[in-house]
Structure 1
Amino acid sequence: CDQFDTMWRVFPDELKNSGEYYFKGGSLNTYFPNKKYGNDIDKINAGCLWLFKQFYGSLYNFSSNANENMNIVTYIMTWVSYKLNQKKQDGITKFNEFYSRHIKNVDEYNNSIEDSTEYRSYIDLMNKKQELMDIDIKLMSKLYDLFKNLCKMYNDFSKKSNNRKNYIEYANKFADEYKKLFNDNDNNVEG
């Protein structure tokens, strides 16, 4: 959650009053694919690449995260879906559409991962999550909201361990949102 906390500071989930992304750039500026800057897709791609680099960029991080916690790829995919859902982008309604148009043929996603034998690139990591590719970004955004709530709880817990009331509020919010998502007949999700 620490890496996502950093992401939320440089590329917050809230939009500006004008409806534009609030993008501080900072460390993300070096992650624009193909060195293209400026449009919303480029900003989302920079955030996505930055997250992959944080979790899988070094041999140590890669071996820890790829072998122990492939769910991080899911969290990254839900973040991308959330950002795409905030502002409609080229008619993209599923992660797979973004993947096909803006990830699959980008060098930075296809570059070899140092000393990895099982996963050769970030593309290989995403391809392990094929079951998520065709889920509507609206639903993925709801999953992201759940993930973000858990991260806030985790981050607050690691900073101030004495305020139990906050944790109960986070837990109740998570349970309520989960129930809504689980009982939503429009999401076509079972279990």
Structure 2
Amino acid sequence: MDHFMCIKFGTLRTFYPDELGKLTKYEFDNNGSISNYCPNVGSKNKCETDLDKIKAGFIWLFEQNIVSRISDLSTEQIDIFIIYIMIWFNYMLRLKSYNNTNNLNDFYTKYTEDNTHYNYCKKHNDDCTITLKSKLGYNNFKEIIDKKKDLLNISFEDMPKFYDAFKLLCNMYTEFNENDPKCTEYLKIANQFVEKYKELNENSDITEGSPYYQIWSTLSNDYDNFKKKCNDVNCNGFPLLPEIKTSQIPIKGSEEIVQNSEVTSSSPSIISKLIPVLSIFAAIPIFMGIGYKYSLFGFRKRSQKQHLREKLKKIKRMDH
């Protein structure tokens, strides 16, 4: 993020407000070269519908922030600018009731697939494709934007909050003046930004690499960069941002995995403890069977001896 980029977003808001019901005295088509991206109406280009204005504003932001400065921007700066432009595009589509479109990705594709402004890099009618290729490795802006299409998946409820946080951060950059720093004013806006950040940071759906995470990490880095600018002019005491709360995508469930692994790892020891016990229980009926067998044998033996004694007694009586 930089002062120049935020000025361009502010200029666009002057000609095309980002709040419902807010009027402007400026004609949209009079905003510099923006009419170049409007549909042909009669003998000139004119944006008559909100959709026309959103599409034209989207391309104009690319032209002003990236194409016109492409030789001076780093790869990282271009990537950051694209994220902020996509935030504006998503927010405005939803604000102007295009959120009823089933899939904003399909909506985006429909209006960019054959649009020459996306498929070529033109700077003052000169081809800037070679510069774009050497900077980012892409042949046109559509290829770059396609890599950021997942930013269109931010929910309808969360997008206004992200956009508000972006605007607050931009206000800090546009208000900053190193020759006449107004530390109190910067701190006031910074506190508002941090509160908005905390509010959105409660979203439990933030996973690393997700659209939410991309926006948060970008806003966080630009806020830290602004704090450094303020520290250089002795504006201190800015609040810290909390760490981004991320949720892990459960594969099987960590607790379940731990429990299963514990059961698996302890199985040999459990079995080794059970074997002697089971052996004892298995041996009991065996010994009982043997004991029973021997007890029966002993009983029969005693019966036989008793029978012999009685026979002998009878024989003796007969002899007498």
Bin of the TM-score, shorter chain as denominator length: 0.7 to 0.9
2:87 corresponds to which residue?
Answer: 78
2:27 corresponds to which residue?
Answer: 24
Structure 2: which 5+ runs fail to align? 1-5, 123-127, 208-245, 247-320
CA distance in 1, matches of 2:91, 2:99: 15
User: 1:91-139: per-residue Cα shift (whole Å, max 9, x none)?
Assistant: 2366423312222332221124512322222212212324424333443
1:152 corresponds to which residue?
Answer: 171
User: How far apart are residue 64 of structure 1 and its match?
Assistant: 3.5
1:128 corresponds to which residue?
Answer: 147
CA distance in 2, matches of 1:181, 1:90: 20
User: How far apart are residue 24 of structure 1 and its match?
Assistant: 3.0
Q: Given the superposition, is the C-alpha separation of residues 64 and 128 from structure 1 closer, same or farther in structure 2, using an over 3 Å criterion?
A: farther
1:169 corresponds to which residue?
Answer: 188
Q: Which amino acid aligns with 1:67?
A: T
Of the three residues 5, 10, 14, the one matched with 1:5 is: 10
CA distance in 2, matches of 1:140, 1:164: 29
CA distance in 2, matches of 1:23, 1:98: 28
Say whether the 8 Å CA contact 1:13–1:83 is kept in structure 2: yes
CA distance in 1, matches of 2:147, 2:74: 11
Say whether the 8 Å CA contact 2:87–2:151 is kept in structure 1: no
CA distance in 1, matches of 2:55, 2:154: 19
Larger radius of gyration: 2
Match of 2:73, SS?
helix
1:180 corresponds to which residue?
Answer: 199
User: 1:47-104: per-residue Cα shift (whole Å, max 9, x none)?
Assistant: 001000112223xx12433623111001000001111121212723664233122223
CA distance in 1, matches of 2:39, 2:119: 11
CA distance in 1, matches of 2:82, 2:48: 25
Q: Which amino acid aligns with 1:54?
A: Q
CA distance in 2, matches of 1:51, 1:107: 16
Q: Which amino acid aligns with 1:75?
A: Y
Between 34-43 and 173-182, the greater mean CA deviation after superposition:
34-43
User: 1:20-40: per-residue Cα shift (whole Å, max 9, x none)?
Assistant: 898731222222257563111
TM-score, normalization: structure 2?
0.51
CA distance in 2, matches of 1:45, 1:126: 14
- Aligned ranges 1:109-128 → 2 under 5 Å: 109-113=118-122, 114=128, 115=130, 116-117=132-133, 118-128=137-147
Pair 1:40 & 2:50 matched: yes
Say whether the 8 Å CA contact 2:35–2:56 is kept in structure 1: yes
Asked which structure has the greater RCO (Cα within 8 Å, sep 6+), the reply is 1
Cα RMSD for the two superposed structures: 2.7
TM-score, normalization: structure 1?
0.82
Match of 1:3, SS?
helix
User: 1:133-174: per-residue Cα shift (whole Å, max 9, x none)?
Assistant: 433344333222111101111111138843222111111111
Number of corresponding residues? 185
1:50 corresponds to which residue?
Answer: 60
CA distance in 2, matches of 1:80, 1:123: 14
Say whether the 8 Å CA contact 1:74–1:129 is kept in structure 2: yes
